[in-house]
Amino acid sequence: MPRAHATLISRERVTEGHYLLTLDCAEVAQNARPGQFVHLRVGDGTDPLLRRPLSIMLSQPDRREVQILVRTVGRGTGIVATHDEGTRYDLLGPLGSGWSIPQGDEPVLLVAGGIGVAPLIFLADSTRMADPQPYVRAIFGGLTTESLVCWTEFAARCDEFIAVTEDGSTGETGLVTDVLAPELDRDPPVRVYACGPDGMLAAVARICAEAGVPCEVSMEQWMGCGVGACLGCAIPSSAGGYVRVCTEGPVFDATQIDWERLMSR
Ligand SMILES: Cc1cc2nc3c(=O)[nH]c(=O)nc-3n(C[C@H](O)[C@H](O)[C@H](O)COP(=O)(O)OP(=O)(O)OC[C@H]3O[C@@H](n4cnc5c(N)ncnc54)[C@H](O)[C@@H]3O)c2cc1C
Ligand code: FES
């Protein structure tokens, strides 16, 4: 199990309840692939007892740096939001499967909802170094403008970018899925990559299946061990039984998930 230590270089408040952490961690920076995550011990001792999974948003091996975007939702992420520069972390990572990396110059479409933008920024960033470069289109949705966290970092790495907000405060009004179907019709990409809440991913998976476009999804799930031992992160598989988000995922081909069973839990 890849265990490492990291030092917090900076913690920047991005919007209300969202923080961008820059960590000094050579082991993760040198080995991370887009779509992978770290499993971070956020406190000393046993409070909280379990590590917290967080996606790698960017990795700069030459500077030994890794960036992580944190949305505060509870005890663990709340603690991280108070940490000062120089805080030392014990972490596992990089963990999990990554996105399949686009090959050639064909168009791909990235679909992000809220904090789900983090692993897609890493994917978009990695395509910038590819030769030939894929043509990257993106749809980024949220409740309000404030929910479009780090949208400038995302847009800067894409060739085309559509923002969507439910309240219409930025970009188009509605849900990312309202924009997705017409985008697939207009110019079908070779693959869709999506990360966001389960309901959004279920809808993206259905729309892509109807359009015959391959789709990968990155799943968020409560985690215990993070390394395949506790089954705490298991989600229903379309093959019957369950798949573990921490080891078989977090990135899955959308057809691997039993969306009906997942959404009825
Ligand atoms: C592979 C993966 C990558 C992730 N990447 C990021 C990321 O880049 N940035 C980020 O901010 N968050 C990310 N998350 C979600 C993050 O791990 C949880 O928000 C965090 O563990 C919550 O811890 P907490 O102690 O603050 O909240 P808790 O006090 O444990 O819980 C607060 C609320 O959040 C819910 N919750 C807890 N864990 C999860 C979870 N894993 N998924 C969904 N809901 C959860 C609980 O049910 C509860 O309602 C990721 C999760 C996974 C599995
Ligand atoms: S978190 Fe323990 S098996 Fe995935």
According to CATH, the topology of domain 219-265 is Dihydroorotate dehydrogenase B (pyrk subunit); domain 3 (2.10.240)
50: Cβ below 6 Å to ligand 2?
Answer: no
Question: Distance, CA 220 to ligand 1 centroid (Å)?
Answer: 7
Same fold, 103-217 and 219-265: no
pLDDT tier, 47 (very low <50, low <70, confident <90, very high otherwise): confident
Q: Tell which atom from ligand 1 comes closest to the C-alpha of 249.
A: 1
Lowest pLDDT segment from 46-50, 70-74, 138-142: 46-50
Mean local confidence (pLDDT), 195-214: 98
Mutate to test the pocket of ligand 1, among 52, 71, 233, 243 (most ligand atoms within 8 A of CB): 52
213: Cβ below 6 Å to ligand 2?
Answer: no
Mean local confidence (pLDDT), 191-215: 98
Q: Which CATH superfamily is domain 3-95 in?
A: Translation factors (2.40.30.10)
According to CATH, the topology of domain 103-217 is Rossmann fold (3.40.50)
Question: Distance, CA 52 to ligand 1 centroid (Å)?
Answer: 7
Residue 243 has pLDDT above 80, yes or no: yes
pLDDT tier, 262 (very low <50, low <70, confident <90, very high otherwise): very high
Residue 1 has pLDDT above 80, yes or no: no
Tens-digit pLDDT profile for residues 102-140: 988 889 999 999 999 999 999 999 998 888 999 999 999
pLDDT tier, 45 (very low <50, low <70, confident <90, very high otherwise): confident
Domains of the chain, residue spans: 3-95, 103-217, 219-265
DSSP states of the chain as a string?
--EEEEEEEEEEEEETTEEEEEEE-HHHHHH--TT-EEEEE-SSTTSS-S-EEEE--EEEGGGTEEEEEEE--SHHHHHHTTPPTT-EEEEEEEES--PPPP-TT-EEEEEEEGGGHHHHHHHHHHHTT-SSPPEEEEEEEESSGGGSTTHHHHHTT-SEEEEEETTSSSSEES-HHHHHHHHHHHS--SEEEEES-HHHHHHHHHHHHHHT--EEEE-----SSSSSSS-TTEEEBTTSSEEETTTT-SEEEGGGB-HHHHHT-
Tens-digit pLDDT profile for residues 132-178: 999 999 999 999 999 999 999 999 999 999 999 999 999 999 999 99
